[in-house]
Amino acid sequence: MKKILITRRLLRENEDKASKKFKVELNLNDELYTQSKLIELSNGCDGILASLTDKMDAQTINKLPNTIKIISNFAVGFGNIDLEAAKKKGIAVTNTPDVLTDATAEIGVLLILGACRRASEGIENARSANWKWSADYLIGKQLTGTRLGILGMGRIGQKIAEITKSLGMIIHYHNRSKLSEDKEKGAIYHDSIKSLFSVSDVLSICCPATKETQNLINKKSLEYFPKGAVITNVARGDIVDDDALIDALDRRKIYAIGLDVYKGEPNLNPGYLKFKQAFILPHLGSATKDTRLAMANLAIDNIVEFFDTGSCKNKIN
Ligand code: GLV
């Protein structure tokens, strides 16, 4: 029986399933393992079921024992893993696409609504009983007729487009390539971020974190937006240069933000906290029971498929 290191606690049903398929090394205290601990615990294992909190950079991967043949990431995003270093060492990397699309798109839409409709201020005022209804109290931005720019029109971007279109938003997008018309469903394609940002009253960041997308939201690109735009991010914090975004909020170039992901999680740039117009969540994208069960099942199935067949349809390197 193959032995798998499972780096974080999973839901009980998933740990039970994994224990039936493999010998498992579980993390019963749900500790955040350091890189040296990950390497140490990998000894004697054939694979790792990793989480987005495990930083699998080249240095860590190069020190893994040669018995490790697969890193199955319990996430669709894979910015925590150096895919090239894994490939060079003969380690397959897999992810969990599809199963978290709906849950993550729901949070993407919540970020748009929360930022546009001043939900943070509203919650704070309601909790402290510090409010009085009036005709101009907490006036926000209505979504009807507002242009939504989607950066990265993959599965999650397409689902956000579908939902927000039903709210009356006008959908624009940028992607590495233009989608076929049946997938576009009337969304307007832009072949550059400059062109997309210049028509985005609201932006939803849905693209993967890669070397190319790192700090794509920066001092220069923020200037492409219409004044008073709203920026939301349901993808990864690495795509945003925090200082540039904080400065744009300060200058009111950007009206509000909705963030679920951050550079250096679980910390976030404290500069964001001073803004009432920051609607911020602690990386809740896929956090529903059905979705987490499905993600972990898929992460386990990816390992089973890999050891049974030598490959896996969700292999990403
Ligand atoms: C969640 O952020 C994921 O990438 O699965």
pLDDT truncated to tens, each residue of the chain (317 aa)?
999 999 999 999 999 999 999 999 999 999 999 999 999 999 999 999 999 999 999 999 999 999 999 999 999 999 999 999 999 999 999 999 999 999 999 999 999 999 999 999 999 999 999 899 999 999 999 999 999 999 999 999 999 999 999 999 999 999 999 999 999 999 999 999 999 999 999 999 999 999 999 999 999 999 999 999 999 999 999 999 999 999 999 999 999 999 999 999 999 999 999 999 999 999 999 999 999 999 999 999 999 999 999 999 999 99
Q: State whether 79 and 164 are in the same domain.
A: no
Model pLDDT for residues 114-165, shown as the tens digit of each residue:
999 999 999 999 999 989 999 999 999 999 999 999 999 999 999 999 999 9
Is 265 part of the annotated catalytic residue set? Answer: yes
Is 84 part of the annotated catalytic residue set? Answer: no
Q: State whether 155 and 175 are in the same domain.
A: yes
Specify if 39 maps to a domain: yes
Q: State whether 110 and 186 are in the same domain.
A: yes
Nearest to 202 by CA among 167, 132, 150: 150
Is 147 part of the annotated catalytic residue set? Answer: no
Q: State whether 11 and 51 are in the same domain.
A: yes
Which residue has the CA at smallest separation from atom 4 of ligand 1?
A: 77
Specify if 317 maps to a domain: no
Residue pair 78/61 in contact by the 8 Å Cβ criterion: no
Specify if 86 maps to a domain: yes
Which atom number of ligand 1 is nearest to the Cα of residue 75?
5
Q: State whether 42 and 107 are in the same domain.
A: no
Residue pair 93/316 in contact by the 8 Å Cβ criterion: yes
The pTM for the full model equals 0.96
| 12, 16, 22, 25 alpha-carbon torsion, rounded to 10° | 40
Give the number of domains in the chain: 2
Residue pair 74/296 in contact by the 8 Å Cβ criterion: yes
Model pLDDT for residues 73-120, shown as the tens digit of each residue:
999 999 999 999 999 999 999 999 999 999 999 999 999 999 999 999
Specify if 314 maps to a domain: no
Specify if 28 maps to a domain: yes
Q: State whether 35 and 48 are in the same domain.
A: yes
Q: State whether 247 and 304 are in the same domain.
A: no
Determine the distance separating the centroid of ligand 1 and the alpha carbon of 286, expressed in angstroms.
Answer: 7
Determine the distance separating the centroid of ligand 1 and the alpha carbon of 104, expressed in angstroms.
Answer: 8
| 134, 137, 141, 145 alpha-carbon torsion, rounded to 10° | 0
Q: State whether 89 and 79 are in the same domain.
A: yes
Q: State whether 292 and 270 are in the same domain.
A: no
Specify if 43 maps to a domain: yes
Within 6 A (CB) of ligand 1 lie: 52, 75-77, 100, 285-286
Determine the distance separating the centroid of ligand 1 and the alpha carbon of 261, expressed in angstroms.
Answer: 10
| 49, 51, 52, 54 alpha-carbon torsion, rounded to 10° | -90
Query: Which residue of the set 174, 283, 292, 305 is catalytic?
Result: 283
Specify if 316 maps to a domain: no
Please report, for the domain that includes residue 30, its CATH number.
3.40.50.720
Domain that holds residue 61: 3-99+288-309
Which atom number of ligand 1 is nearest to the Cα of residue 95?
5
Which ranges of 128-224 would DSSP assign to H, the alpha helix?
A: 155-166, 181-184, 193-198, 219-222
Specify if 168 maps to a domain: yes
- When computed from its CA atoms, the radius of gyration of the chain, rounded to whole angstroms, is 21
